Chains A and B, each alone.
Chain A
């Protein structure tokens, strides 16, 4: 992990090839996420910046309790998730206090951060001070795992049902399935990802993935900028 300055803001840049920290699954495990936020605040403090650090999950990724609401059946697209982030930012960050706001987006979250900021600026809302991208390695030429996921994401209902079935499987079955789902990640992230084996989480994740890969193209200006700054 290395640090760099972008427009005066210190952000963490996590290498795509050999990540030492993977903030991929933390939406699913409070301990994992808490460690990341704690490290982030310490990192800011070392740079002489006292920071309030928050993280907002994508809609549908709940850890405190499974999403049993009627809207759980409604899989949100990438654009809907971006709209949600713009709303959240406007009402709970930019509109709630005078602190400058810095966004750190991970993976597709980096794209969401840029797009949400763009939408807010077009709407005349007070601007986000800086946007940082952590491993913005979503791809328009996905790797094998992502290609499989993309193909499966056309069957959202079936995938959600599969998630529901996995929720009821035993530890042995999960141990077999975990590497298939998250084999490229570190051991902790693989274990944490097991929390995805839920119907509502599958619905949300595949709903987003279904549009993530089809929405982004190399001609997208934000994607091009992030891709140019990433090593993958």
Chain B
């Protein structure tokens, strides 16, 4: 239950912040066309992506591993 609450809190916070500060926590990464968004520091989550070109037919979402398991 704690997990669902934490996740819900994070997502709700992201929504609120996205509406109010959609640009304030967005940063262009060093690779061309890549953005990194931290909608609100409190959500403890970052979303990275490439600018859309308009003809996308599929949405690919990458879920990285845990750096805490380094050595793999």
**Interface on A for B, CB 8 Å cutoff?**
16, 23-28, 30-31, 33-38, 40-41, 44, 49-65, 67-69, 71-72, 74, 76-77, 79-89, 91-93, 97, 99-110, 112-113, 116, 129, 135, 137-138, 143, 145-146, 149, 153, 181-185, 193, 196, 201, 204-209, 212
A109 pairs with B65, CB closer than 8 A = yes
A34 pairs with B67, CB closer than 8 A = no
B36 pairs with A30, CB closer than 8 A = yes
CA separation between A182 and B44, bound complex, in Å? 24
- Per-residue A-contact encoding for B30-68, CB less than 8 Å = 1, 0 else: 111110101001111111111011011111111111111
Query: Which among B14, B43, B58 has the greatest number of chain A C-beta atoms within 10 A?
Result: B58
CA separation between A145 and B64, bound complex, in Å? 19
CA separation between A85 and B11, bound complex, in Å? 10
CA separation between A232 and B44, bound complex, in Å? 32
Given A52-B49, A61-B46, A24–B67 Cβ distance below 8 Å?
Answer: yes
B60 pairs with A56, CB closer than 8 A = no
A83 pairs with B68, CB closer than 8 A = no
A83 pairs with B6, CB closer than 8 A = yes
CA separation between A76 and B32, bound complex, in Å? 33
Q: Which residues of A contact B3 (CB under 8 A)?
A: 76-77, 79-84
Q: How many residues on B have C-beta within 8 angstroms of the other chain's C-beta atoms?
A: 51
B64 pairs with A57, CB closer than 8 A = yes
Q: Which residues of B contact A196 (CB under 8 A)?
A: 67, 70
Q: Number of contacts between A and B (CB, 8 Å)?
A: 274
A209 pairs with B58, CB closer than 8 A = no
Smallest Cβ-Cβ distance to A147: which chain B residue: B71
B41 pairs with A80, CB closer than 8 A = no
Given A34-B31, A52-B49, A85–B63 Cβ distance below 8 Å?
Answer: yes
Judged by a CB distance under 8 angstroms, whether B25 is at the interface is yes
Judged by a CB distance under 8 angstroms, whether B27 is at the interface is yes
- Per-residue A-contact encoding for B1-40, CB less than 8 Å = 1, 0 else: 0111011111100110000000001010111111010100
Q: Which residues of B contact A57 (CB under 8 A)?
A: 45-48, 64
| 8 Å CB contact of A88 from B2, B11, B70 | B11
Smallest Cβ-Cβ distance to A113: which chain B residue: B63
CA separation between A63 and B29, bound complex, in Å? 11
